[in-house]
Amino acid sequence: MSSILKVENLSHKYSTAWAIRDINLEINQTGVIGLLGSNGAGKSTTMNIICGVLNQTQGNVFIDGKDTRKEAEAAKMNIGFLPQTPPLYPDFTVNEYLHYAADLRLMNKNNIRSAVAEAMERTGISHFSSRLINNLSGGYKQRVGIAQAILHKPKLVVMDEPTNGLDPNQIIEARKLIKEIGKDHTVLLSSHILSEVHLLCRDVIMIEGGQIVFSDTMDAFNNYVQPGSVLVRMENPPPVSDLLKVPGVSRAEYLTEKQARIYFEGDQEVTENIIEAGVQHRWKIREVNLDKNLLDDIFKHLSNQS
Ligand SMILES: Nc1ncnc2c1ncn2[C@@H]1O[C@H](COP(=O)(O)OP(=O)(O)OP(=O)(O)O)[C@@H](O)[C@H]1O
């Protein structure tokens, strides 16, 4: 049987500089696979090539055994793509837009109506089907973006930083939906947020400087990475004693008036606990990030090993 995704010696050069070099990957199962890397690591370039939006300089991509260059149409039947900026038309209603997306995918006309209804149902947007996309919140716009990516039931769904720009509540909802979609699709999700990859992914591929520096299961990754702290920025910051009440938090300190460094041990769900406590107690969390220095250390550590 063909792999769902196979990438062979993929390299890409923008004008003179190589953005990615010799990327090799093979994915055979459903589930969420994280493509983790810092800004500029080469995630979007890799994803854009996989999805046929960008032509590679060298190498091959096969989706369900179909070469994306030689059999582009057949390969695209099994790809759903949510780019960093979802390709939405603000003047369309949700229903019109999804019908249009189905047409673009050359779906059988007889199946479109039921496929659109199913995708809306799955992403929780059926009640907004007649609403103009322009009038939706960021979180709902993202759901429409996800709906267009799963409309034709592709084997592979590629999502480029899907929680970027969402508020903490919307992030929780989007992650739930992505996890759900991973149950019966292969989802390749890029992120520079380590805690997000921890929460969602079964396997992780780490890319740095355009090259893969790690590719294995989440469990194997955890042996390398012991995230010990997150940085949390809040509009309405509580006293340290309240932060310590969040399950899993071992220590907390304020770096500035509104930014705390929160330490934890072992529990990968702790960022979710912090976000939930923030919503409950109205701390108005604006940002939750793994300590940037720590992430850089991990990249350095992994890069040196390869
Ligand atoms: N259109 C372009 N022209 C020239 N260089 C580019 C272009 N797009 C990306 N690059 C460069 O290629 C490298 C990889 O960028 P890419 O956008 O793939 O990284 P990324 O991991 O997705 O980063 P981010 O999280 O910031 O989107 C970077 O050095 C970037 O500056």
Q: CATH number of the domain that 56 lies in?
A: 3.40.50.300
Please indicate, yes or no, whether residues 18 and 54 belong to a single structural domain of this protein. yes
Please indicate, yes or no, whether residues 143 and 264 belong to a single structural domain of this protein. no
The pLDDT of residue 300 is above 70: no
pLDDT at 306: 44
Ligand 1 atom nearest residue 15's Cα: 4
Ligand 1 atom nearest residue 192's Cα: 25
Structure confidence at residue 10 as a pLDDT band (50, 70, 90): very high
Please indicate, yes or no, whether residues 153 and 279 belong to a single structural domain of this protein. no
For residue 133, being part of any structural domain is answered with yes
- Domain holding 67, by residue range, is 5-223
Q: Is 138 in the pocket of ligand 1 (CB under 6 A)?
A: no
The pLDDT of residue 267 is above 90: no
60 within 8 A of 47, measured Cβ to Cβ: no
Please indicate, yes or no, whether residues 257 and 189 belong to a single structural domain of this protein. no
**Domain C-terminal end among 199, 223, 247:** 223
For residue 298, being part of any structural domain is answered with no
Ligand 1 atom nearest residue 84's Cα: 27
Task: Domain count for the chain, please give it.
Answer: 2
Q: Is 45 in the pocket of ligand 1 (CB under 6 A)?
A: yes
Instruction: Measure the CA–CA gap between 290 and 201, rounded to whole angstroms.
Output: 16
**Domain C-terminal end among 176, 208, 223:** 223
Strand partners, 217: 203
Q: Dump pLDDT digits (tens) for 33-44.
A: 999 988 888 999
Range scoring the smallest mean pLDDT among 49-53, 161-165, 225-229 = 225-229
Q: How many CB atoms lie within 10 A of CB 225?
A: 22
pLDDT at 54: 94
Structure confidence at residue 298 as a pLDDT band (50, 70, 90): low
For residue 303, being part of any structural domain is answered with no
Distance 189 CA to ligand 1 centre (A): 16
Mean pLDDT, to the nearest integer, of 76-84? 93
For residue 248, being part of any structural domain is answered with yes
Q: Helices in the chain by DSSP H: which ranges?
A: 43-50, 72-76, 94-104, 109-123, 138-150, 168-181, 194-200, 218-224, 240-243, 270-280, 292-305
Instruction: Measure the CA–CA gap between 65 and 235, rounded to whole angstroms.
Output: 50
Which has the closest alpha carbon to 150: 173, 118, 176, 175? Answer: 118
Domain CATH number, residue 254: 3.30.70
Please indicate, yes or no, whether residues 138 and 284 belong to a single structural domain of this protein. no
Mean pLDDT, to the nearest integer, of 60-88? 93
The pLDDT of residue 155 is above 90: yes
Which has the closest alpha carbon to 210: 60, 42, 58? Answer: 42
pLDDT at 293: 55
For residue 299, being part of any structural domain is answered with no
Q: Is 83 in the pocket of ligand 1 (CB under 6 A)?
A: no
Mean pLDDT, to the nearest integer, of 50-73? 95
Q: Is 53 in the pocket of ligand 1 (CB under 6 A)?
A: no
Q: Is 41 in the pocket of ligand 1 (CB under 6 A)?
A: yes
Q: Is 182 in the pocket of ligand 1 (CB under 6 A)?
A: no
Please indicate, yes or no, whether residues 75 and 151 belong to a single structural domain of this protein. yes
Distance 145 CA to ligand 1 centre (A): 22
Mean pLDDT, to the nearest integer, of 15-42? 92
18-25 contacts: CB < 8 A, separation 24 or more?
18/210, 19/45, 19/210, 20/45, 20/46, 20/207, 20/210, 20/211, 21/210, 21/211, 22/59, 22/211, 23/59, 23/207, 23/210, 23/211, 23/212, 24/212, 25/205, 25/212, 25/215
62 within 8 A of 2, measured Cβ to Cβ: yes
For residue 272, being part of any structural domain is answered with yes
For residue 132, being part of any structural domain is answered with yes
**Domain C-terminal end among 223, 245, 276:** 223
Mean pLDDT, to the nearest integer, of 121-140? 94
Mean pLDDT, to the nearest integer, of 57-82? 94
How far is CA 94 from each of CA 4, 84, 133, 142, 173, rounded to the nearest angstrom?
A: 29, 19, 6, 12, 19
Mean pLDDT, to the nearest integer, of 62-91? 93
Please indicate, yes or no, whether residues 87 and 152 belong to a single structural domain of this protein. yes
Please indicate, yes or no, whether residues 139 and 271 belong to a single structural domain of this protein. no
Distance 165 CA to ligand 1 centre (A): 18
Which has the closest alpha carbon to 203: 189, 193, 213, 183? Answer: 189
Interface confidence (ipTM) of the complex? 0.96
Question: Which residue from 14, 18, 190, 208 has its CB within 8 A of the most atoms of ligand 1, so it is best to mutate?
Answer: 14
Q: DSSP string of 57-82?
A: SEEEEEETTEETTTTHHHHHTTEEEE
32 within 8 A of 179, measured Cβ to Cβ: yes
Please indicate, yes or no, whether residues 194 and 45 belong to a single structural domain of this protein. yes
Contacts of residue 177, defined as CB under 8 A and 6 or more positions apart, other chains included, come to 123, 124, 143, 146
- Round the average pLDDT of the chain to a whole number and report it: 89
Q: Is 39 in the pocket of ligand 1 (CB under 6 A)?
A: yes
Please indicate, yes or no, whether residues 218 and 245 belong to a single structural domain of this protein. no
Please indicate, yes or no, whether residues 214 and 286 belong to a single structural domain of this protein. no
Q: Is 49 in the pocket of ligand 1 (CB under 6 A)?
A: no
DSSP state of 129: T
For residues 306 and 25, which has the higher predicted lDDT (pLDDT)?
25
Please indicate, yes or no, whether residues 95 and 112 belong to a single structural domain of this protein. yes
For residue 15, being part of any structural domain is answered with yes
